Amino acid sequence: MSNSKPKQINEEKIIVQPSKTIVEKGNEIIESHDFYKDLSELMEDQKFSSFFDKYFKTMNDTKVTLVYMNLYKEFKNKYKEIEDKELDRRINIFLIWKMMKDKDINKFALHTVLKHLDNPKKTNILDEFQSFMKLDNLLENK
């Protein structure tokens, strides 16, 4: 048995060189898996990358941002279903802003969307809001 110390690796000198094999394998993965293709395209998009850097800093930031994104999409889809036309993004933003300004609705919205994300088939975001608003109106009218 030898008393020699194991060689330490100087981490500063480790450079990952993109060999042809790695690049080819990466390309094969991108071409055969939609998730990795979408991920690479999204993360290379400057607008999204900037958005990601600003609003996905912590897990809490990420959850809140996902709630806003889900509300945006839910309103857009519901409006299209009802009116058969696109919801103007300014109106959509106003609706979300108005909802999230109210501390009770904000709390309910965060809880409902996160519950929906945990179990999309069990929780319908807009149905939950409709029930909440009816209950809220009943309580206010007493």
pLDDT tens figures, 3-47:
555 555 555 555 566 677 888 999 999 999 999 999 999 999 999
Tens-place pLDDT, residues 38-90: 999 999 999 999 999 999 999 999 999 998 998 999 889 989 998 999 999 99
Q: Is the pTM of this model over 0.85?
A: no
Q: Where are the domains of the chain?
A: 19-51, 57-140
CA separation for the pair 112, 125 (Å, rounded): 6
- Which phi and psi (to 5°) does residue 73 adopt? -65, -40
Nearest 5°: the CA angle 66, 131, 91 is 50
Cα–Cα nearest to 27, from 15, 43, 44, 40 = 40
